[in-house]
Amino acid sequence: MIMNRLCILVFLLLVCACGETPKASENTFEECLYEQPEAIFSSSVPTVVNHEFIMNGRVGVERIVFESGLQIDIHQSGCDELQQNFFFYLDKSLSATATITQAAEYFYDLGTLDEAYLPLYEWGDLINKHAAAISLEQSYVVYPGFYVTIKQYKKKSNHLLEVVLSQAG
């Protein structure tokens, strides 16, 4: 129970990481409960070979490529309800069970990069612990008011595994 609360708290901190405050004219989050999203990763992480972060309206879009070849796009959004969409690029389609297992593994791997990413490891642990109850395309409550949704699909020539962490199902 404490672990779940810790994960949720750290999720909120990751999404609302402190940083420079944009000028009032640039701040599209003035009337929001949460501040503008900021990058989770950076090019200073030793295994990151390419990193980009841009704001597209109220959505922060982060693109990361690791030495291992793993590519991830992260879309962070939310004004009054937070949501993070992690898009992992796959070589091939996976079964439903393998997709959920792979999602947990990705979060475990990201969580071991540095102590700062431990919350991602915790999300992997939550996904793994609830794997038998999670169904693809269905929001699953990991803690009251907090959800995980796992999807897999093909977009153009890419196979994508999408993991959505959100406050709303």
Q: What is the mean pLDDT of residues 9-13?
A: 47
List, for residues 21-41, the tens digit of each pLDDT value. Answer: 444 334 468 888 888 999 999
Note the pTM of the prediction, 2 decimals. 0.83
Mean pLDDT of the chain: 86
CA 112/CA 68 separation, integer angstroms: 14
pLDDT at 60 over 70: yes
> pLDDT of 112-158, one tens digit each?
999 999 999 999 999 999 999 999 999 999 888 889 999 999 988 88
pLDDT at 103: 98
Instruction: Give the whole-number percent of the chain exceeding pLDDT 90.
Output: 67
DSSP letter for each residue of the chain:
-HHHHHHHHHHHHHHT---PPPPTTT-TTTT-SSPPP--S--TTSTTEEEEEEEEETTEEEEEEEETTS-EEEEEEE-SSS-EEEEEEEESS---HHHHHHHHHHHHHHHHTS-GGGHHHHHHHHHHHHTTTT--TTS-EEEETTEEEEEEEEEETTEEEEEEEEES--
pLDDT, mean of residues 59-74: 97
Reply yes or no on whether the pLDDT at 18 is more than 50. no
